[in-house]
Amino acid sequence: MSTEQQQTLDAILRQSAFPVGSTVDEQRLQLGKLTSAQPLPPEITLTSRTLGGVPVAEITVDGVEPRHVVLYFHGGVYVLGDAAGAAGLASQVGRRTAAKAYSVDYRLAPEHPYPAAVDDALAAYEALLQEGVAPSDIVLAGESAGGGLVVATLVNARDHGLPLPAAAYVMSPYSDLTLAGASIDTKGPADPLLSRELLEPRITDYTAGQDPSLPLISPVFADLTGLPPLLIQVGSHEVLLDDAVRLAQQAAAADVSVTLEVTPGVPHVFQAYGFLLDEATDALDRAGEFLRARLHA
């Protein structure tokens, strides 16, 4: 909301950004230090369990009605991150949606390249259905690679004949691993976190020789027909801006009810910085309203 907030966050993120040329192990170590420094609030409870054989962190918020479920996919360009590390943002979505959240620990590349993450995501969703949770009581959400995985999971579930959830919410979706969007270069100077040089090696880790334009790798190229209502949020200061814009265009062309929100002056997954950025809290509030309206429709 204030230029000062945006500039302060930009400076913090530039100091903590991954160095170009750093390895997966180095990036995992750095991310682990960052996430461990942000403890969860006391009203949030994490419980380890599995869904369809896939490890998940079950996230409950004191006072929240557990009938509704947010199935959440973390970011990390398919090689970094974990369910617990994403629990803070997942719990924010759950709190505003009045739902319990499951943060999915899908397998990571390069140890487990595509389609491991896609398979795990579908298995977790199918397990919720098999446990008797109505699809109308489920929403999917995720950030960055997790946002791309949300859309891939919807396409995959549709193609497997499964009933689809009530809605989906994606933050700064990483939806084109061919890096064909113009913003991958034009927004480079403005983006404090990501760049073509940082993303390219991690794409090879995940695709492992597969075509990066495959629809379940890069859902911007998928047929999105029949998907549930979709909310896409992205910042104008990120190289993945065009991933979000083109994904919204693809959804609209397929007659999907889609809402695209571009917030000016903010970085990749800006919703994670509510402690500093007013736009983060506002965006999550809007997402909660969007999801609650679909769950209770």
CA dihedral over 16, 102, 94, 291, signed as positive or negative: positive
The residues annotated as belonging to the active site are 144, 238, 268
286 SS3 class: helix
Complete DSSP assignment for 119-146: HHHHHHHHHHHHTT--GGGEEEEEETHH
Complete DSSP assignment for 27-41: HHHHHHHHHHTSPPP
Query: In the sheet where 258-263 sits, what is the strand order?
Result: 44-51, 54-61, 100-104, 69-73, 138-143, 167-171, 230-235, 258-263
Please list the residues that pair with 230 across neighbouring strands: 168, 258
Give the burial class of 24: count Cβ atoms within 10 A of its Cβ; 0-12 exposed, 13-18 middle, 19 or more buried. Answer: middle
- The dihedrals phi and psi of 230, each to the nearest 5 degrees, come to -130, 130
CB atoms within 10 A of CB 220: 27
110: cis peptide before it, omega within 30°? yes
Would you mind telling me the total number of residues written for the chain in this entry?
297
CA distance 89 to 76: 14
What does the block give as tokens for 111? 């140890």
